[in-house]
Amino acid sequence: MTREAACPDCGAVSGRVHGGCRRRLADLAAAGREAVVDLLVRRFLCPAAECGRRTFVEQVDGLTERFARRTPLPRRSLEKVALALAGRRPADRPSVHPGECGFPAQTGTQASGQAGRRRTPCAGHR
C-alpha cells in the first residue's frame, strides 16, 4: 500500500488521508462460485488550492476504476459478448438467463440486459 496518491484532476500528490471506504468488486466466477474482491480504499485531500476537487479516492492499478462495480476481467468479457450480439435481432440472440446457454450461466457473471449496452463503446470512441 502506498502512502500517497495523485489527484486525478490536477495530478498533485497527497499524503493527507481524509477517510476511507469499502469497495466490493465483482470478479469472474471461480469453480462455479461468485467471486468478489473486497477492498478498503482511502480518500485523500487534494493539496492544490486551485484544484476543483477537494477529495479523491485512491485507485488500485489494474483492479479498480472510478465508479466501477466489476474488475477489468469481467468488464472486458461483458464487452466482448455485447459486441458479438450487437446488430442481431432479439430472436436470433442466445439466451442470457442463468441455467440456459447464455453468458452469465457459463461464467457465473451476473449482468442486467443493459450492462452490455452501457459498457459497449460506440464505433467512434474505440
Q: Identify the pLDDT of residue 120.
A: 47
Total-model pTM: 0.55
Q: Identify the pLDDT of residue 111.
A: 58
Q: Do the beta carbons of residue 33 and residue 79 sit within 8 Å?
A: no
**Which residue intervals of 10-92 are DSSP H helices?**
72-85
The pLDDT tens digits for 109-119 are 555 555 555 54
The pLDDT tens digits for 65-110 are 888 888 888 788 888 888 887 766 666 666 555 444 444 444 555 5
Q: Do the beta carbons of residue 107 and residue 26 sit within 8 Å?
A: no
Q: Identify the pLDDT of residue 44.
A: 94
Contacts of 64 (CB under 8 A, 6+ apart): 23, 25, 39, 41, 71
The pLDDT tens digits for 8-40 are 899 999 989 988 889 898 888 888 788 888 888
* Residue boundaries of the structural domains of the chain: 1-65, 70-121
Model confidence band, residue 62 (pLDDT cutoffs 50, 70, 90): confident
Handedness of CA 17, 43, 1, 5 (dihedral sign): negative
Q: Identify the pLDDT of residue 74.
A: 79
